[in-house]
């Protein structure tokens, strides 16, 4: 697509379960006029409130990126937002009948496939850009992340992750052309360490998890009894730890799939700035808190 804004040609839906809420729901993408941007409409609410997909409406980043307005929220929007950005779609209205986006396989793949099936249509309005003119850095030693952006002719992202654990070594991922997003980034699934999964399970925080939507890294020795308990929890006949240190629930799409998924999240969260970015992002140990805080810092620099 060229330098004009784009929408989709027809409405299309994606169904599924929310990872954290366990709610079964449907989201429907509708074409929207030029200049509309991306907005979510809660069709299950009496007044059908509309929440713009904007950094100004981010209300929580603890287990995904949540936007809200007047007490109404939409959870875990990052994979949807990344899909729209990766396909060059600027304007769409998304109807939602539950609190949370479907997790599907933990990647952006199903959203990308649906949007491509709907078709992409160029509109009669020029696309606006956020052009980075100076280096902007956000570093947090306590949380262990660093985000940086420098001027560039188009949007580029480089990610490095390092969790100081043998089971998941230092990994790198890059996206230097958005045209590569569909093939190289969209299929990459979220991941979790076993100790995080156990905490979430104990606190009833992954009601929609079924081991098909996350790569589980096992960073300690597990007894057969513990493995059997996990199998029971997730309705699997048997669970074991593979040589790569992950549960045998899936095969990796790429050796560096975790880093690529973190890059996916960066793309989705930074898209909440509402305009395409001309800049080169370098992210060390990014996460939803880091990504959205960085987006707010970029917004402040642009406004000033």
Give the tens place of pLDDT for each residue, 238-287.
Answer: 888 887 789 887 889 999 999 999 999 999 999 999 999 999 999 999 99
Range of the domain at 31: 4-127
User: Locate tokens 């990610």: which residue?
Assistant: 159
Q: Give the pLDDT of residue 1.
A: 43
Count CB-CB contacts under 10 A for residue 137.
Answer: 12
Please indicate, yes or no, if residue 262 is contained in any of the structural domains. Answer: no
Q: For 70-87, what is each residue's pLDDT tens digit?
A: 999 999 999 999 999 999
Nearest to 49 by CA among 99, 102, 12, 103: 99
Name the stretches of the chain with pLDDT < 50: 1
Please indicate, yes or no, if residue 62 is contained in any of the structural domains. Answer: yes
Q: Give the pLDDT of residue 204.
A: 66
The Cβ-side half-sphere exposure at 189, using a 13 Å CA radius, reads 23
Please indicate, yes or no, if residue 132 is contained in any of the structural domains. Answer: no
**CATH number of domain containing 11:** 3.30.230.20
Please indicate, yes or no, if residue 267 is contained in any of the structural domains. Answer: no
Q: Give the pLDDT of residue 21.
A: 85
Q: Give the pLDDT of residue 249.
A: 73
Please indicate, yes or no, if residue 178 is contained in any of the structural domains. Answer: no
Please indicate, yes or no, if residue 45 is contained in any of the structural domains. Answer: yes
Inter-residue contact 261 to 190 (CB < 8 Å): yes
* Alpha-carbon distances, residue 9 vs 28, 82, 105, 203, 291 (angstroms): 13, 19, 26, 42, 31
Inter-residue contact 173 to 259 (CB < 8 Å): yes
Please state the domain count of the chain: 1
Q: Give the pLDDT of residue 38.
A: 98
**What is the H or E stretch that residue 92 is in?**
strand 92-96
Q: What angle do CA 79, 56, 78 make, to 5 degrees?
A: 5
Inter-residue contact 284 to 276 (CB < 8 Å): no
pTM of the model: 0.94
Please indicate, yes or no, if residue 108 is contained in any of the structural domains. Answer: yes
- Residues with catalytic function: 288
Q: Give the pLDDT of residue 230.
A: 79
Tokens of 209: 């998890």
Please indicate, yes or no, if residue 39 is contained in any of the structural domains. Answer: yes
């Amino acid at each position: 697509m060229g330098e004009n804004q784009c929408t989709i040609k027809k409405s299309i839906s994606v169904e599924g379960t929310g990872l954290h809420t366990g709610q079964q729901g449907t989201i429907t993408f509708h074409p929207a006029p030029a200049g509309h941007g991306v907005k979510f409409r809660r069709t299950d609410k009496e007044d059908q409130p509309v929440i713009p997909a904007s950094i100004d409406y981010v209300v929580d980043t603890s287990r995904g990126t949540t936007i809200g307005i007047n007490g109404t929220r939409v959870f875990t929007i990052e994979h949807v937002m990344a899909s729209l950005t990766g396909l060059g779609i600027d304007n769409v209205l998304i109807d939602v009948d539950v609190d949370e986006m479907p997790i599907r396989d933990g990647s952006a793949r199903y959203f990308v496939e649906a949007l491509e099936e709907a078709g992409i249509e160029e509109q009669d309005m020029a696309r606006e850009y956020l052009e980075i003119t100076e280096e902007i850095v956000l570093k947090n030693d306590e949380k262990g992340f660093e985000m940086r952006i420098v001027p560039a002719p188009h949007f580029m992202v480089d990610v490095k992750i390092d969790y100081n654990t043998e089971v998941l070594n230092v990994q790198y991922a890059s996206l230097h052309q958005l045209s590569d997003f569909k093939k190289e980034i969209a299929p990459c699934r979220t991941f979790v360490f076993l100790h995080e999964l156990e905490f979430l399970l104990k606190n009833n925080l992954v009601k929609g998890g079924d081991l098909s939507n996350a790569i589980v890294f096992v960073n300690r020795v597990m007894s057969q009894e513990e493995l059997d308990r996990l199998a029971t929890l997730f309705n699997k006949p048997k669970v074991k730890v593979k040589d790569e240190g992950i549960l045998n629930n899936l095969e990796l799409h790429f050796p560096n799939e975790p880093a690529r998924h973190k890059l996916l999240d960066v793309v989705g969260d930074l898209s909440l700035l509402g305009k395409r970015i001309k800049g080169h992002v370098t992210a060390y140990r990014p996460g939803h808190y880091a990504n959205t805080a960085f987006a707010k810092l970029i917004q402040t620099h642009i406004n000033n």
